[in-house]
């Protein structure tokens, strides 16, 4: 779709200096107590921004970012979609829920295609693989239970489930609770051979992203497809043993496991003629396992025997690469993103992050589109992430990201618009380690200080916000916000939060030509795109959410 050329703002001047957007991933506006790493951190630059510069909060969860309800946490995928698109689109969880409730998913051609070999051969198996939780960030247990029930009604004789433990978007540990709920659903299908066959924790098994560590996918492939891995007589025996190992008290770090039958052989090897569904709806941690099933040329690890199966994803995880070829639910179509409008205006853009969030400032920001939108006006840079536990190096690659921004500003004309993501608050926050998360926030604060100096020198504008909360609350809480204690100590929380995120704007031009609006109390991340355009001196597209600033 061709985008229109935007008009100059009738009252706000065109920005002559650079516009810089710093997305502090996972740094929300929290309860300001002992579980809030953002509050506890020594952060002079952020404190200065929040106290001396125009600052407000934005909603970053629930319906404000396209999730089914306001009880649903936001995440980096939907957050960057909303920021880059300037509008709210129904997102993965809501789309899947709608498709199941309406019957569209089961009436669709992909589900029928998956059933064909299973109904023709009672020994053929439907394999279901994905993250087993109700976090609603990557997946929801209700979705896989709905697939199990539908397969039972259709007459499918054999199902094998390959269940991945969460521990990031839900309480950690809690995998046994989800296993029990799934087992109840399998047991309700009387006379069927429906069993859990393999699994592991999401940070060690199957769910790598951005090709940061293919060994994670290899472990999953070996366990799910070949039945190669530590063998146990039951899921319960596997979890009992894995809980005794170092790191075993955390679901996300559980090692791979394979369930065997009475003969000692794996019960869930994938065979030719089977069907395989990856039930996650979010794409970033589903793409690599999808490539392992679908790509003929595959240099990342030795797949061994590659079974000929009918493979489908819950959604299409990459619309440009067409991965996977078959999927159960249509993804949102996001067109006319901010990047497209800037390119038509002839404005240059620079996007940078480390590997863990590189896809968010590119693919997700651009409406789930791979590659640069306009090579003549855009440059993207990826800083390779460390392969080390995030709480062991909470600095991550924040300094190198800022260095790349400084490099882009040297020499000739600086980019008109620069966006970056500092992953520290989110990735370290997911470990639940308070001291490390405080260090992560302090690291990001130091980089914000460098950006302030750069923007001040160039007489530009710096916008600082976040895509969702995480580091702002590392305690599990009851319905009244009080910490839940275990042995007298607050129970650690590793998931995102429902908290809003701060938005601060530092304008180095001298007298500001704009002011914050007071009439948009429910503004969310989708309001950011129009705000950026207003700072650049342009009117927003008619269908974009309102800017949160107005002429002074």
The set of catalytic residues is 76
Q: Which two tokens stand for residue 389?
A: 């536990």
Helix locations, 315-392, DSSP H:
338-344, 355-359
Strand partners, 258: 198, 231
Omega before 506 cis (within 30°)? no
> Do residues 248 and 254 lie in contact, with contact meaning Cβ atoms separated by under 8 Å?
yes
> Do residues 161 and 155 lie in contact, with contact meaning Cβ atoms separated by under 8 Å?
no
Report the run of H or E that residue 101 belongs to, with start and end.
Answer: helix 92-102
Omega before 163 cis (within 30°)? no
Closest by Cα among 225, 224, 219 to 305: 225
Torsion sign, CA atoms 113, 115, 118, 119: negative
- Per the listing, tokens 């400032």 go with 361
CA angle 315–317–318, rounded 5-degree value = 135
Q: Which two tokens stand for residue 35?
A: 């579980």
At a CB cut-off of 8 Å and minimum separation 6, what does 97 contact? Answer: 68, 140, 143
> Do residues 93 and 85 lie in contact, with contact meaning Cβ atoms separated by under 8 Å?
no
3-state secondary structure of 487: coil
> Do residues 342 and 377 lie in contact, with contact meaning Cβ atoms separated by under 8 Å?
yes
Task: Name the phi and psi angles at 500, rounded to 5.
Answer: -70, 170
Q: Could you say which DSSP state residue 8 is in?
A: B
Task: Please measure the distance between the N-terminal and C-terminal CA atoms of the chain and give it in whole angstroms.
Answer: 35
């Amino acid at each position: 779709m061709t985008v229109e050329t935007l008009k100059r703002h009738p009252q706000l001047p065109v920005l002559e200096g650079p516009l810089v957007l710093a997305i502090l991933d996972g740094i929300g506006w929290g309860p300001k107590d002992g579980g809030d790493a953002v509050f506890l951190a020594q952060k002079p630059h952020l404190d200065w921004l929040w106290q001396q510069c125009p600052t407000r909060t934005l909603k970053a969860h629930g319906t404000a970012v396209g999730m089914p309800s306001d009880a649903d946490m936001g995440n980096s995928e939907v957050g960057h979609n909303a920021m880059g698109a300037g509008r709210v689109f129904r997102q993965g969880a809501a789309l899947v829920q709608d498709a199941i409730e309406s019957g569209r998913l089961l009436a669709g051609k992909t589900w029928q295609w998956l059933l064909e070999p299973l109904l023709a051969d009672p020994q053929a198996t439907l394999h279901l693989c994905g993250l087993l939780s109700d976090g609603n960030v990557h997946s929801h247990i209700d979705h896989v239970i709905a697939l199990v029930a539908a397969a039972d009604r259709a007459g499918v004789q054999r199902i094998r489930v390959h269940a991945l433990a969460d521990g990031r978007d839900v309480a950690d540990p809690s995998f046994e609770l989800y296993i029990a709920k799934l087992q109840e659903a399998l047991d309700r299908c009387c006379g069927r051979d429906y069993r859990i066959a393999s699994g592991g924790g999401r940070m060690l098994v199957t769910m790598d992203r951005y090709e940061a560590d293919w060994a994670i996918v290899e472990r999953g492939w070996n366990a799910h497809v070949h039945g190669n891995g530590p063998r146990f007589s039951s899921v319960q025996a596997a979890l009992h043993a894995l809980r005794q190992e170092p790191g075993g008290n955390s679901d996300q770090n559980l090692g791979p496991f394979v369930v065997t039958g009475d003969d000692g052989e794996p019960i869930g090897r994938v065979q030719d003629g089977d069907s395989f569904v990856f039930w996650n709806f979010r794409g970033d941690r589903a793409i690599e396992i999808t490539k392992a099933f679908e790509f003929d040329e595959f240099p990342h690890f030795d797949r061994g025997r590659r079974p000929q199966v009918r493979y489908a994803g819950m959604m299409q995880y990459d619309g440009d690469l067409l991965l996977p070829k078959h999927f159960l639910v249509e993804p949102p179509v996001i067109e006319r993103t901010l990047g497209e409008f800037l390119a038509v205006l002839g404005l240059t853009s620079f996007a940078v992050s480390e590997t863990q969030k590189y896809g968010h400032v590119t693919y997700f920001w651009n409406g789930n589109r791979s590659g640069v939108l306009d090579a003549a006006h855009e440059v993207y840079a990826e800083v390779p992430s460390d392969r080390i536990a995030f709480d062991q190096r909470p600095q991550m690659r924040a300094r190198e990201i800022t260095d790349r921004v400084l490099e882009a500003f040297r020499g000739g004309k600086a980019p008109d618009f620069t966006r970056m993501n500092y992953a520290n608050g989110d990735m370290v926050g997911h470990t639940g380690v308070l001291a490390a998360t405080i260090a992560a926030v302090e690291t990001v604060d130091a980089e914000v200080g460098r950006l302030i100096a750069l923007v001040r020198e160039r007489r530009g504008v710096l916008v600082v916000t976040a895509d969702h909360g995480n580091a702002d609350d590392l305690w599990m809480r009851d319905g009244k916000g009080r910490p839940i204690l275990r042995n007298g100590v607050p129970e650690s929380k590793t998931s995102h939060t429902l908290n809003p995120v701060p938005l601060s704007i530092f304008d180095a031009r001298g007298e500001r030509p704009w002011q914050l609006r007071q009439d948009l109390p429910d503004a969310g991340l989708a309001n950011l795109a129009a705000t950026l355009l207003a700072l650049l001196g342009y009117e927003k597209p008619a269908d974009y959410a309102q800017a949160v600033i107005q002429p002074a």
